[in-house]
Amino acid sequence: MKDVHVISIIALIYSIILALVTLIFFNDYLIWAILGSAVALFNHSLMIQVTKNKLTSYKLVTHLIQRYVFYIVIIAIVYFDTNKLGTQVMINSYIFLLLGIASIKFGAILYSTPLIKKPKEVEVEENDTNNT
């Protein structure tokens, strides 16, 4: 369970860096990067709560439906807010939204690298084989 919390912290750091870079270079799309990161981090925290206690199929299915409803609502909000601004603005908004949504994925990928997660040492037993 500790691994999941570390992934959340890495994803939060990524989200903050994404928000700062977006604020500096692409100020018009800041809301979409933050919204995507917030939804991904919120869904991840719900997943932690669901799996912390006894996991049932009902809880898992409810969580998955809730997760995808959140994503569909956010995608619809971006569509209805940017469809009159032009195709390029809509595409850029979706790109920043997806960069925010992918924060948990980037956190998991960064956590699995040897820089952050130290490989476990495996004890090697020597086999005493005689060739006779």
Classify residue 44 by burial, with Cβ atoms within 10 Å: 0-12, 13-18, 19+.
Answer: buried
- State the Cα–Cα distance between residues 117 and 90, nearest whole angstrom: 38
Q: How do the domains of the chain map onto residue ranges?
A: 2-111
At residue 121, the pLDDT reads 65
The candidate with the shortest Cα–Cα distance to 15, out of 52, 46, 47, 42, is 42
pLDDT in tens, 56-85: 888 889 889 999 999 999 999 999 999 999
Per-residue pLDDT band at 49 (split at 50, 70, 90): confident
pLDDT in tens, 78-121: 999 999 999 999 999 999 999 999 999 998 888 888 776 666 66
At residue 48, the pLDDT reads 86
Question: One-letter amino acid identity for 68?
Answer: Y
- State the Cα–Cα distance between residues 18 and 22, nearest whole angstrom: 6
